[in-house]
Each structure stands twice: as C-alpha cells, then as structure tokens.
Amino acid sequence: MKFEKRFGYLPLQKSSAGEAFVSDTDNTNWCERSGSRDRFARSSNSLRAAALWLLQAILFSLSVTVLVVSRKQHHSSAMDCVFRLSQYSPGLEALSDDYQTVRFKGSFSFPSPYKGPPTPEVDKKWNEIENMGAIKISAEEFSRLNASRHAVRVPSSLGGGYMALPEFVHQIHCVKMFWAHTYPDYYVEAYNRSLENPEEWHQHMDHCADLLRQKLMCDADMTLITYNWISNHYQPHPNFNVQHKCRNFESAKEWTFRRRIDASSLKHHYFTRPEEETVVDFKEPPFDPQADA
C-alpha cells in the first residue's frame, strides 16, 4: 500500500544533536583524555592521587548539585505555572502537578453514579463531593486572599485562623441543587420550600446560575466538541465524549478533608457569634475587602 511505503518502518535517522550527545558521554573519550593526561604527570604518585580524588569529589558534588537543582526546577516550573494561572489558594500546593487527561463521558445514554433517577446511592455519591464542610486557613494564607478584612475567624479553642470553603464545593452544590429540582417527586421537601417561598427560591437559583455562569466564562474552556453522523438523524450530532485536561480532583478533595474544621466540640457543633469579642456586622457580605460596614 502506498501509505505503508511512505510512512511504514523507516529506520530512525540519526540526528546531529543525538550524535553530539552520545560522544559527550562516551566512555572511550574519557579514557583517552585521562590517558593523554598521564603523559604530563611528573609529580609524586600520592599528590597525583590526592588531586584525582579532589577532582572526583568536585565532579561528584557538581553532578549531585545539577541533579538536585534540575529536579527542583522541573517541579517548581510546573507548579509555578499552576500558581501563575490561578488565583492564590493554599490548596494549589496540594494539587499534584501532573494534570490528568480525561475523556468525559458525555453521551446521553452513558450511566453515571450522579445521574437520575435519584436514589439513596445517588445521593451518597453527590454527598461525597458536595458536603465537605468549612475548612481552616492560617492568618498568613488569609492575608494573600484579598478577602474581606472582617472575615470570620476560627475560635482560638479550635486553633485560630480563618474559616473558608473551596469554591468547587459550592459550585458542585449548585449543580446538585439544579439537578435535584428536576425530581420534585423525590426531593419533596425542597420542592415544598420552593412553593412556599418562590421569591427566595428564585433568588437562590439565580445566585447559583449566575455564579456558575461567571465561573464558566472565567475559565472559558476552549476544549473542542466535534460532531458525528447518527443513523436516522439528518443533522450532525455533537459528540460530548471529549478529551479534557483535568486537575486531580482526588488531591483537591483530600486537601479539603485534611483542612476540615472539626466543630463537634463546640456548643452548637457550629460557630456562633463570639461572646468575648466584638465583631463587625454587615447587611450583606461586602464586595469591597476594605469595607467596614
């Protein structure tokens, strides 16, 4: 076949760069060089031996240094990239820098443990990624967030610092809520609340939809969907089984769990307004991090 003739089983071409690399580390070359050096050696044997040992020690420590520095640089350059392209979070350090290649399971017919119809098992799966609880960050980490200067602090009985929540937890919560509202017969309580207070319900839904819109526009995922012909369909059909590059969600989840605040020792198992100090009250959480009221 023509294709095979052109592209099949061609011997690998030696590149000049490859050859240079080989001759550089070639053992015979080293031997020749040290052999020629022998002819100029006129000093005593012990001095010569000492000099060789010194040389060897220098070369060894040099190569160890190069190894360590190059490994460090390799690690930090990948993580540098993550930090440079992300808003600061101490959680970034927990993401392994090897991003994963994942093909999304996007076809309508594909099963997923997060798809309906809802069951206690489906709820359990959602719970594992949605209900992680608040975490604790240090004052130093907090200072790099550009967050409200009157943010809620963790009581000193629980080690101090500030209360926080990774955005992904809230984003997943929003998606779960939208999905749940398509099953009013199962999530009756939520459905009832939406009927009892439609204004508040719409506010919550609008809030979630608008935050997810901002997040999706913020990330502007340029990964491309292609199309297929589907039998008995006269228009191209989008193929949502698209390969993506993903952060390691398990790493993100583990970090969040490690940082979780254990509030079980508190009176209401949750933070309440501290009695021994005054706090700054707002009508709504402030937009301006410097706002005092």
Ligand X SMILES: *[C@@H]1O[C@H](CO)[C@@H](O)[C@H](O)[C@H]1NC(C)=O
How many chain residues interact with ligand X (CB under 6 A)? 6
Smallest distance, ligand X to C-beta of residue 191, A: 7
| Residue 30 CB, nearest approach to ligand X (Å) | 54
Shortest distance (Å) from residue 290 CB to ligand X:
8
* CB hemisphere CA count around 265 (13 angstroms): 8
User: What letter would DSSP give residue 86?
Assistant: S
Mask 119-158, x = binds ligand X (CB under 6 A)?
---------------------------x------------
The torsion of the CA quartet 261, 265, 267, 272, rounded to 10 degrees, works out to -20
Q: Round to whole Å and give the CA distance between 206 and 23.
A: 67
Site for ligand X in 189-248 (CB under 6 A): 189, 192
Cα-Cα end-to-end distance for the chain: 77
Q: Considering only the stretches 116-124, 184-192, 246-254, 274-282, report the one whose residues sit in contact with ligand X under the rule CB under 6 A.
A: 184-192
Sign of CA dihedral 271, 277, 281, 285: negative
Residues between 73 and 112 with contacts to ligand X, criterion CB under 6 A: none
Determine if 70 is a binding residue for ligand X (CB under 6 A): no
Q: Give the nearer residue to ligand X in terms of CB position, either 88 or 240.
A: 88
Choice from 188, 216, 225, 291 touching ligand X (CB under 6 A): 188
3-state secondary structure of 26: coil
Residue 291 in contact with ligand X, rule: CB under 6 A: no
User: What is the smallest separation between the CB atom of 272 and ligand X, expressed in angstroms?
Assistant: 27
Span of 114-122, 187-195, 248-256, 264-272 interacting with ligand X by CB under 6 A: 187-195
Query: How far is Cα of residue 285 from the mean position of the Cα atoms in its chain?
Result: 27
CB-count exposure of residue 135 (10 Å: 0-12, 13-18, 19+): buried
Q: How far apart are CA 209 and CA 206, in angstroms?
A: 5
Contact residues for ligand X (CB under 6 A)? 146, 188-189, 192, 288-289
